[in-house]
Amino acid sequence: MSKILKTKRSIDVPIITPDIGSSENEVFQSIFEIKLEPESKTKNKFKSPEDKLKNEAFEKGYKEGFNKGYLEGYKKGHKEGFEKGKKEAEEKYKKLEEKLGKEFEEKFKTIEIFLKNAEKEIQELIINLDKEILDLALNIANKLILKEIKINPEIPLRIIREALNYIVEGTELNIKVNPEEYKFLEKNLAKYVPPSQKIKLIPDESISKGGVFIETSLGVIDATFEKRWKKLLDTLLKDES
């Protein structure tokens, strides 16, 4: 009977296990350290060419997988970082744009209010100047009229003659005049009044020079200087407004 001789042959296959606890850089460095080992030392680790091929295939696969994963992770991280930075920049730009827009709007409103106030002040200034000019003109006119009245006693006579055109002939009249003009009117009025007209001249100190106050049974005619001046002012101010 033949004997079957069984021989036991053991093959030691070194297994490279990545150091999970180390950083990526350390793992990457360990691969190159293995590759850079002396050829004689590497040969001693393997008892057969098959073992060496297996180990080289493992190392190559590990390296390729690591490089691929590292590159993909880098690209992903770079993209995420870029998107995050872009989003933050857009948000900051939007906030800055809103802030500048708000500030511009506030500045514009301030300028608009300033211009409105300035326009109002200018209009008021013009109105005040117009009023001052008008007051000055009226003051000058008043003085000129008073001067004319003093040197021209015929002014109240012309007023009486004009008033008689609106009064029915034969009506009794009481005409009040300034005492200083009374004598002149008494002397000259009869020239312009028909005989049928009943007129009584009355000197009155309340009547200013150049003024006349006529009383009739139907009413009065206030032709005093003050009354006529007020009427003139009212007309001028009405036209001005």
Most distant pair of Cα atoms in the chain: their distance:
196
pLDDT in tens, 116-152: 776 676 666 556 656 666 666 666 666 666 666 666 7
Share of the chain above pLDDT 70, in %: 57
Joined together, the tokens standing for residue 171 give 């009506």
The strands making up 220-223's β-sheet, listed across from edge to edge, are 198-203, 172-177, 212-215, 220-223
pLDDT in tens, 159-213: 888 888 888 777 889 999 999 999 999 999 888 887 778 889 999 999 988 889 9
Q: Evaluate the CA torsion angle 228, 234, 237, 241 in order and state its sign.
A: negative
Better-scored residue on pLDDT, 222 or 235? 222
Joined together, the tokens standing for residue 7 give 């021989």
Q: State the virtual CA torsion across 72, 74, 80, 85 in degrees, nearest 10.
A: -160
Question: In this structure, are residues 12 and 47 in contact, taking their beta carbons and an 8 Å threshold?
Answer: yes
pLDDT band, residue 2 (cuts 50/70/90): very low
Radius of gyration of the chain measured on its C-alpha atoms: 62
Q: Which residue has the tokens 């080289």?
A: 56
- Note the pLDDT of residue 182: 93
Task: Give me the mean pLDDT over the 211-217 stretch.
Answer: 91
Residues with Cβ within 8 Å of 64's Cβ and at least 6 positions away in sequence, in order, are none
Residue 222 has pLDDT above 80, yes or no: yes
Task: Give me the mean pLDDT over the 106-123 stretch.
Answer: 70
Packing angle, helices 49-151 and 225-240, rounded to 10:
160
Residue 216 has pLDDT above 60, yes or no: yes
Question: In this structure, are residues 157 and 183 in contact, taking their beta carbons and an 8 Å threshold?
Answer: no
Residue at 9: amino acid letter: R
- Note the pLDDT of residue 10: 46
Write down the domain spans for the chain. 24-83, 153-240
Better-scored residue on pLDDT, 189 or 32? 189
Superfamily of domain 153-240: ATP synthase, E subunit, C-terminal (3.30.2320.30)
- Note the pLDDT of residue 3: 45
CA distance 52 to 237: 121
pLDDT in tens, 45-95: 556 776 666 677 767 776 777 677 767 776 777 677 777 777 788 887 777
Question: In this structure, are residues 223 and 163 in contact, taking their beta carbons and an 8 Å threshold?
Answer: yes
Q: Name the helix (H) or strand (E) containing 29.
A: helix 24-35
Phi-psi region of 170 (alpha: psi -120 to 50; beta: other; left: phi over 0): left
Alpha helices by DSSP H, listed for 36-171, are 39-45, 49-151, 154-164
Q: What length is written for the chain?
A: 241
